Structure 1
Amino acid sequence: MAEILIVDDVAENLQILQLILRNEGHKVFAAISGEVALKIANEHLPTLIISDIKMPGMDGLTLCKTLKQTQRTAQIPIIFVSAERETDNIVAALEVGGVDYITKPFKPPEVLARVNTQLKLLDAHKLAVRQQLSHVMNQMVVGVAHEINTPLGAAITAVTHFEGILSQLIDAFGSETLSAEQLATGLEESKQGVELCERNLTRVAQFVKVLKEIARVERPTTPSAVNVIALLNDLKSSWSKKNISIEVRAMDANFMADRDILLTIFDNLIDNSLSHGGLSSGKAISIEVTLKEQYIEFLYYDHGQGLVDITPEEVIKPFITTKRGNSGHVGLSASVTANLIGSALGGSYQLSNRGRGLEWSIEIPLNSA
């Protein structure tokens, strides 16, 4: 059943709503003011909120506006409570983001009907999101398969040409007609063929890597205890071998998540920064970590040129990239990274461009098991 936060400055109203909802098996949090409700909402992320409109201090409308301003709580549906005669209040409540209203005095069938409607809508939304994700993943797989054909075909052509050159050189050598000029030309053409083959097979390998990451989005995760400092030290050590400097500001804390997926996410971000970010020489990539009540926030920024001629929305679209051709990038890593954060880890992300390069704000639940 659902976790529901009820907010009312009248204790009797809280008791009635608690009784109605708990009899249906729901877990209920109660708040006697908007300020208390705001704290509970951020700590527990309830499935649904039922709030009185008129309260001293922070009223229901202000509570709703405040929750809608924060990415973490913006999607929590809010049902308002109002007396039957207060139609103006109901209109105002719906205008600030309320999804429905319940009239006082409370009628248990009405309360349960309106609550159940919102819970069914939430379930339908989750199903739609899963279906959309599956559709996107399928599109990405089909797109990758299509994109692989070009470099693979070029590599096969290069190998065939290389084989023909070698056959000519071997025949000429066997018949003792091989000249120095023919040998030099054959070796030069062979070298070019090998380089062409290597470039295209490297691109194929990049696509295969992306395919593996796509598969990880939908596979079951394996959460374990992750230490923030140990995780980031491993990341720094891995990239230091490639002469990439990472500056970390973090506390010593533990949380539950799939460690391999976290490392994949950061590897993708760093790889993208190096390929697309136009990084300033001598500037380290930065990762800041903040521990919240129910989640941990990773703020990543690369001190590069930021977004140029591309929006944050376009960054995470499949096959959108500023690097094509022989760059080894296929325009999928940002999209896969976004899906790993949201689907595999149950987190959220936000991209911004505030003068210190491309920024990713990533929020991961403290227990994403």
Structure 2
Amino acid sequence: MNSNKNLIESQSFDILIVDDTPENIRFLSTLLIEQGYQVRKALTGKMALTAAQAATPDLILLDINMPHLNGYETCKLLKQNEETASVPVIFLSALNDVVDKVKAFQVGGVDFISKPFQFEEVLLRIQTHLQIRVLQSQLHLKNTQLENALEGLKQMQTQLLRKEKLSGLGQLVAGVCHEINNPVSFIAGNLKPAQDSIQTLLKLIDVYQTEYPEPSPVIQTLLEEAELDFLVSDLQNMMRSMRTGVDRIGSIVLALRIFSRLGESDIKPTNIHECIDSTLLLLHHRFAEKSMMPEIKIIKDYGNLPLVACHSSEMNQVFLNLLTNAIDALQQKFSHSDSLLEHPMIQIITETNALKQTVIRIKDNGIGISDNVEKHLFEPFFTTKPVGQGIGLGLATSYQIVVERHKGNLSYCANVGSTEFKIEIPTTLIDSQLSEE
């Protein structure tokens, strides 16, 4: 009992005594004040409610038999109020029936002391419940600190994973671009000489046919087998296809460079439309028609945007995350739908708002977002995807990049069969405005 007493004596506790008999109040208050407690008094349940709401007490001694508003009713009202719900209530009553005691606990009381009472008993019960209240407060504080520490750890882990992911992406893209550029440059460099050589050979064949219109039987047989006219036409088509393929590879390499911003400073004026287009190019294979899925239609409604000072590679990551989520939502809807009334669609709208912010909207007509998912949408490691298909960092990382890194806003509007994410970032952003790495 000594440890309990030391714990509660280290603080100044406020006790509210509620009794319609003044003599009882005077007796209890005198003894409690002598023990070092602060005491307030109330003669009715209504006065008790007013006093408790004005300043929340640490404990309430509450009589049951009072006119107009008895102790049970008063306790119910105290427990319904968020500010006084956690205050321990000890009932004091001449009623000693088991039914009365049970009712006292049912309405929220923590203890029941029958009159006439011994003050030593009352004091010990008060000390016990005050100690419990102190321990509960300490536990609540520790839980809050733990929750804050856990949230901080999640944010730190998200940030570390984002940095590691971006760093790894940059290294991967640098290696891929280097490995692709060498053979592609070799092919591109030889296409023109090859084309010239083919033209020379074709010209030589044409002149040979003019000079020697009657070839030998062997040559005649070879010409027929080769189908020379078709071969000439097909050869030209093959050369054009190879040139188109080389140009396509070159555009993909350029898109990769733009996406990862290789060789550029971290913050610089950026063409947002160029960033979006490079991301769309990298995701092009996912837009194509599949056996179970129609082609995804991309609608670009670009406004007249100025250059935006930002972390280009990080903003590209945001666009990739949001577009990937939109594609996944469309696949979930249209891969299991026989309806021809809708066509899978992603709409991208850019504009500048009244606050001179750059606004990017990415809208899809996929499955939408359920109420349960909305509650956790931007939480790290929350995902609705099957195991192995996502770790729940896409939207959390995007939120951190837009809101914390670029002092902007990332919001969404979700209805049944429609989702729109809206990015708002300052058009001008200097280094000092950005959060630290």
Alpha-carbon contact 2:16-2:42 (below 8 Å) kept: yes
Matched, 1:128 2:244: no
Residue 8 of structure 1 aligns with an amino acid whose one-letter code is D
Question: In the superposition, relative to structure 1, how do residues 325 and 113 fare at CA in structure 2: closer, same or farther (>3 Å)?
Answer: closer
Partner of 1:227: none
Partner of 2:78: 67
- Counterpart CA distance in 2 for 1:42 and 1:325 is 44
Q: Which among 4, 13, 35 is matched to residue 15 of structure 2?
A: 4
Residue 355 of structure 2 aligns with an amino acid whose one-letter code is K
Matched, 1:198 2:314: yes
Question: In the superposition, relative to structure 1, how do residues 122 and 319 fare at CA in structure 2: closer, same or farther (>3 Å)?
Answer: farther
Partner of 1:57: 68
Q: Which among 309, 312, 323 is matched to residue 372 of structure 2?
A: 309
Question: In the superposition, relative to structure 1, how do residues 316 and 62 fare at CA in structure 2: closer, same or farther (>3 Å)?
Answer: farther
SS at match of 1:38: helix
Matched, 1:187 2:254: yes
Matched, 1:157 2:186: no
SS at match of 2:108: coil
Give unpaired runs (5+ residues) of structure 2: 1-11, 192-245, 262-274, 280-312, 320-352, 363-367, 386-391, 401-437
- Counterpart CA distance in 2 for 1:71 and 1:316 is 29
Alpha-carbon contact 1:155-1:200 (below 8 Å) kept: no
Question: In the superposition, relative to structure 1, how do residues 3 and 240 fare at CA in structure 2: closer, same or farther (>3 Å)?
Answer: farther
1:19-64 Cα distance to aligned partner (Å, 9 max, x none): 1211121111110000110111111111111110010010000000
Partner of 1:29: 40
Matched, 1:45 2:56: yes
Partner of 2:110: 99
Question: In the superposition, relative to structure 1, how do residues 311 and 111 fare at CA in structure 2: closer, same or farther (>3 Å)?
Answer: farther
- Counterpart CA distance in 2 for 1:11 and 1:178 is 108
SS at match of 2:82: coil
Which protein is bigger by CA-based radius of gyration?
Answer: 2
SS at match of 2:372: coil
Query: TM-score scaled to structure 2, two decimals?
Result: 0.45
- Counterpart CA distance in 1 for 2:58 and 2:108 is 16
Partner of 1:241: 355
SS at match of 1:50: strand
Residue 82 of structure 1 and its aligned partner are, at CA, apart by 1.0
Residue 126 of structure 2 aligns with an amino acid whose one-letter code is V
Question: In the superposition, relative to structure 1, how do residues 131 and 166 fare at CA in structure 2: closer, same or farther (>3 Å)?
Answer: same
Residue 83 of structure 2 aligns with an amino acid whose one-letter code is R
- Counterpart CA distance in 1 for 2:317 and 2:378 is 25
Question: In the superposition, relative to structure 1, how do residues 132 and 81 fare at CA in structure 2: closer, same or farther (>3 Å)?
Answer: same
SS at match of 2:26: helix
Question: In the superposition, relative to structure 1, how do residues 85 and 158 fare at CA in structure 2: closer, same or farther (>3 Å)?
Answer: closer
Residue 140 of structure 1 and its aligned partner are, at CA, apart by 3.1
Partner of 1:117: 128
Residue 327 of structure 1 aligns with an amino acid whose one-letter code is L
Residue 89 of structure 1 and its aligned partner are, at CA, apart by 2.2
Alpha-carbon contact 1:8-1:31 (below 8 Å) kept: yes
SS at match of 1:309: helix
SS at match of 1:57: coil
Question: In the superposition, relative to structure 1, how do residues 319 and 31 fare at CA in structure 2: closer, same or farther (>3 Å)?
Answer: farther
Alpha-carbon contact 2:378-2:396 (below 8 Å) kept: no
SS at match of 1:241: coil
Structure 1 vs Structure 2 CA RMSD: 4.3
Q: Equivalent pairs: percent with the same residue?
A: 27
Alpha-carbon contact 2:15-2:57 (below 8 Å) kept: yes
Partner of 1:247: none
- Counterpart CA distance in 2 for 1:171 and 1:96 is 80
Residue 133 of structure 1 and its aligned partner are, at CA, apart by 2.7
> For this pair of structures, how many residues does the alignment match?
237
Alpha-carbon contact 2:49-2:74 (below 8 Å) kept: yes
Question: In the superposition, relative to structure 1, how do residues 311 and 101 fare at CA in structure 2: closer, same or farther (>3 Å)?
Answer: farther
Residue 144 of structure 1 and its aligned partner are, at CA, apart by 3.6
Partner of 1:364: none
Partner of 1:90: 101
- Counterpart CA distance in 2 for 1:307 and 1:24 is 57
